[in-house]
Amino acid sequence: MFSDETAPLNKYVVLPKVELHRHLEGSLRLATMLDIARQHGVTVPVSLLNLSGLVQVQDQDPLTFSNFLDKFKTLRLFYKSPDVIHRVTAEAVEDAAKDNVRYLELRFTPVALSRAEGFPLHDVMDWVIASAREAAKKYKIKVGLIASVNRHESPELAEQVAWLAAGQMKNGLVGLDLAGNEAEFKSEPFYGLFKEARQAGLRITIHAGEWGPAQNVREAIENLGAERIGHGVRVMEDESVVSLARERGVAFEVCVTSNFQSGVVKTFESHPLPRMLENGLKVTVNTDDPSVSRITLAHEYQQVCERLNVPMDALKRSVLLAAESAFLGEPAKQELSASLKTELKR
């Protein structure tokens, strides 16, 4: 029997799901961070409650992008050894599998993982890729990896990441993402490297229209070659960009709790996801940073259904849409879509 608390959630846990937007660095279990802090002498408070305040959004926190991004500064202290990177990658994959995510596109930021101990970028990429592959097999989940670079960090380092990512396509690395501080940093310095990445065959998703205006969504589509947009919810501020996204068939990786916590929307209930659907945009539901936000994908589906009043049928369509928007080759994508269709009909 489920308790009153878990029974309503269970309906969303059992739903087979697809996650297109989840950051590895936002997926570390709190208990694991505590273990790492003890084993490696990370200088952070070693009580669960104190540590949580540093790496996870709290109810009393300011609802701002800077508070949200600050959590990642502390999180960078934890990437102490190859074993740590192996463990957090495997656990992120395990957690998604236990939440009935059938296909996970997990993005990771090589610069973040390499920074604390000065690990070479190509080593951290190898470690994440090998660990994700092994965990995918063990937990029977399909995983694609996306390399992320931050707007607020060096374009030269980003170029190295893009170049290394292109060399890892044969090992399950499928795409390149631009993340980070959209409020204060432009994407223009990254145009050239995204063009090269596209030419090398990497698929492109860009964080845009989250902490910046609708114009950034246009720029992501037209100048960076984005096939998908991370968040993108501020697209609703400009009808011409809504039309562009619709015409180009761009999919939106929407993350409602993250948007609320980082101040994109003033209240949860005013989130534009239902209006995006009404406007014929391709909307998918995602977590962004499950540990930082203290959520699961099932939780996000519940919130979208019960607080934003999106019917279950529309949610099921968004699972299929996410499968269709996956950065997978055609045969693998068809196979995923077909098995989800069968399951969702039951």
> Which tokens belong to 18?
């697809």
Determine the Cα–Cα distance for residues 209 and 216; give it in Å rounded to an integer.
6
Question: Minimum Å distance from CB 47 to ligand ADE?
Answer: 25
Q: Check binding of 288 to ligand ADE (CB under 6 A).
A: yes
Helix axes 297-306, 312-324, angle to 10 degrees: 140
Of 289, 297, 304, 318, which one interacts with ligand ADE (CB under 6 A)?
Answer: 289
**What residue 219 binds from Zn ion, ligand ADE, none (CB within 5 to 8 A, per partner kind)?**
none
For residues 325 and 245, the answer to whether their CB atoms sit within 8 Å is no
- Positions 179 through 238 that interact with ligand ADE (CB under 6 A): 179-180, 207, 210
Question: Minimum Å distance from CB 253 to Zn ion?
Answer: 8
| DSSP character at residue 270 | G
> Which tokens belong to 322?
């996410």
The phi and psi torsions of 161 (rounded to 5 degrees) equal -60, -45
Determine the Cα–Cα distance for residues 217 and 290; give it in Å rounded to an integer.
24
For residues 30 and 48, the answer to whether their CB atoms sit within 8 Å is yes
> Which tokens belong to 272?
């534009």
**What residue 225 binds from ligand ADE, Zn ion, none (CB within 5 to 8 A, per partner kind)?**
none
Across the chain, where does the E strand assignment appear? 17-23, 101-108, 142-150, 173-179, 203-208, 228-231, 251-254, 282-285
Say whether 210 is catalytic: yes
Which of 91, 153, 182, 210 is catalytic? The answer is: 210
Output 72 or 324, the one with its CB closest to ligand ADE.
72
Determine the Cα–Cα distance for residues 342 and 335; give it in Å rounded to an integer.
11
Question: Minimum Å distance from CB 231 to Zn ion?
Answer: 7
Q: Check binding of 182 to Zn ion (CB under 5 A).
A: no
Question: Minimum Å distance from CB 207 to ligand ADE?
Answer: 5
Query: What mask, x for binding Zn ion by CB under 5 A, covers residues 80 to 119?
Result: ----------------------------------------
Output 23 or 218, the one with its CB closest to ligand ADE.
23
Q: Check binding of 23 to ligand ADE (CB under 6 A).
A: yes
For residues 207 and 180, the answer to whether their CB atoms sit within 8 Å is yes
Question: Left (φ > 0), alpha (ψ -120 to 50) or beta: where does 3 sit?
Answer: beta
Output 291 or 337, the one with its CB closest to ligand ADE.
291
Output 112 or 336, the one with its CB closest to ligand ADE.
112
Output 225 or 232, the one with its CB closest to Zn ion.
232
Question: Minimum Å distance from CB 63 to ligand ADE?
Answer: 13
Output 110 or 230, the one with its CB closest to Zn ion.
230
Residue 18, SS3?
strand
Catalytic positions: 210
Give residues in contact with Zn ion (CB under 5 A).
230, 288
Residues forming contacts to ligand ADE in the complex (CB under 6 A) are 23, 26, 179-180, 207, 210, 258, 288-289
